[in-house]
Amino acid sequence: MSPSPAPACPPTPHKPDNVVRFPGPPRTSRPAQSTRKPRLLEQVRRAIRVRGYSIRTEHTYIGWIKDYVHYHKLRHPREMGAPEINEVLSHLAADRNVAASTQNQALCALMFLYKQVLEFEPGALKDVIWSKRPARLPVVLSVEETHAILAHMTGTRKLMAVLLYGAGMRLMEVLRLRVKDVDFRNKAIVIRDAKGKKDRAVPLPKMAAEGLSAQIEKVRILHEQDLRDGFGTVYLPYALEQKYPNLNKELHWKYVFPSRKLSVDPRSGRKQRHHAYENTLQTAIKRATRKAGVRKDVHAHTFRHSFATHMLARGTDIRTIQELLGHKKLETTMIYTHVLKTGPFGVESPVDNFELGPVLPDDAPTANRKPVRQPTRRHDWVRALLKTIFSFRVSRGAPQQQRRGNNAQTRRKYPLRNTRNTRNIETPLSRISRVS
């Protein structure tokens, strides 16, 4: 009997084309977004940017929050409160000896963290201690001192300093000035997004008009070179770049005082040309102040103080000065009346009615007499050394004179020195004594 053949494999059933297939999840090129909650510092950055704070405020607040967390051994801020904040403020005041404004700046960063990010109740932070900031009078230059400092500056730095004094602008307002905000026809400068997110207009100094025109032409040439090199963009505020994609390559949005080098924008990561660094102008002002011989602590903001004070001295209305400076309150502008010769601060000392003549200190330099040079420790050390040497020589000579006796041969061989006129001998000790 022959074996039965092996059964054949069943045929594959035919699948008609009208079979309904249930597709799986849609395939997309974007990775699935993580449901992880953002970290604390990322939450702080988002809260700052939502409120439109500047990038300087963002860096400052992030720095203080990091210091706060590291001071308490990496504890989460949600586990801490007002006692830990006051402990950090006490450390800043007692150990680090910072100013009251620095303490309040750190406290503002921590209050922003707890109220805006962690959403603490206001009553939970009522025991926080604010430092009282003392009232300070601004440093003001005279007209002659201002002229002397500006005379020792040259080039672009001098043009920037003229805008500080001639228009009462802040340092960052000068550096962030754009080409479109200089109005040569109306002789005005429009300052955008100044302190407090406010705009204002200030007069364009006649002395700076020609220099600004040449500076803008220089910016145009530099912008064309950047475009040829594949760059040429600039930072735009408020997402204007998404609305107008090519607006960041327009000349009128360029900074009037651009940086010499290209830099990477920390937010967009694009390599482009930003405005000049503030330390360049501050260093030039310090150098010019030393050359001019002005013995004051002069900064870039000192020119703004001097602008307001000199305008008041010329009779300008204080309300007009308040608008030019962009002050919110009139009391802030009133502080510049402290150097005027008229008004409540223009008082005269009662001692000025006495006829005492000039009151000079001891050994003060005058036109016909030089100041007396006081001896120093080096002179005292030299004088003591020479005194010791001379006294040793005299003490050795006395016994020799006694041992010589009256022998004529000994006197001829060892003649005695004439010690009667030793006071007239010129020695280094006498020179030091005469000088001192």
Which residues are part of the catalytic machinery?
170, 195, 301, 304, 327, 336
pLDDT (tens digit per residue) in 299-315: 999 999 999 999 988 88
pLDDT (tens digit per residue) in 380-415: 667 777 777 766 554 555 444 444 445 555 555 545
Of 260 and 21, the structure prediction assigns the larger pLDDT to 260
Average pLDDT over residues 243-265: 92
Shared-domain flag, residues 296 and 203 = yes
Q: Is the dihedral of CA 423, 424, 425, 430 positive or negative?
A: positive
Q: What is the pLDDT of residue 27?
A: 47
Shared-domain flag, residues 78 and 160 = no
51-65, 281-295, 334-348: which is most confident: 281-295
Domain boundary among 290, 319, 346: 346
How much is the pTM? 0.69
Average pLDDT over residues 190-197: 88
As for how many domains the chain has, the answer is: 2
Q: What is the pLDDT of residue 337?
A: 79
Shared-domain flag, residues 244 and 263 = yes
Say if CB 292 and CB 148 are below 8 A apart.
yes
User: How far, in whole angstroms, is CA 61 from its chain's centroid?
Assistant: 17
Shared-domain flag, residues 161 and 281 = yes
Is the residue at 169 inside a domain? Answer: yes
Shared-domain flag, residues 88 and 146 = no
pLDDT (tens digit per residue) in 196-212: 888 999 999 999 999 99
Find the range with the poorest average confidence among 39-43, 64-68, 318-322, 419-423.
419-423
Average pLDDT over residues 141-168: 94
Find the range with the poorest average confidence among 160-169, 234-243, 325-334.
234-243
- Show the domain range for 326: 135-346
| Long-range CB pairs of 55-64, under 8 A, 24+ apart, other chains included | 55/266, 55/267, 60/105, 60/109, 61/108, 61/109, 61/112, 61/113, 63/109, 64/105, 64/106, 64/109, 64/110
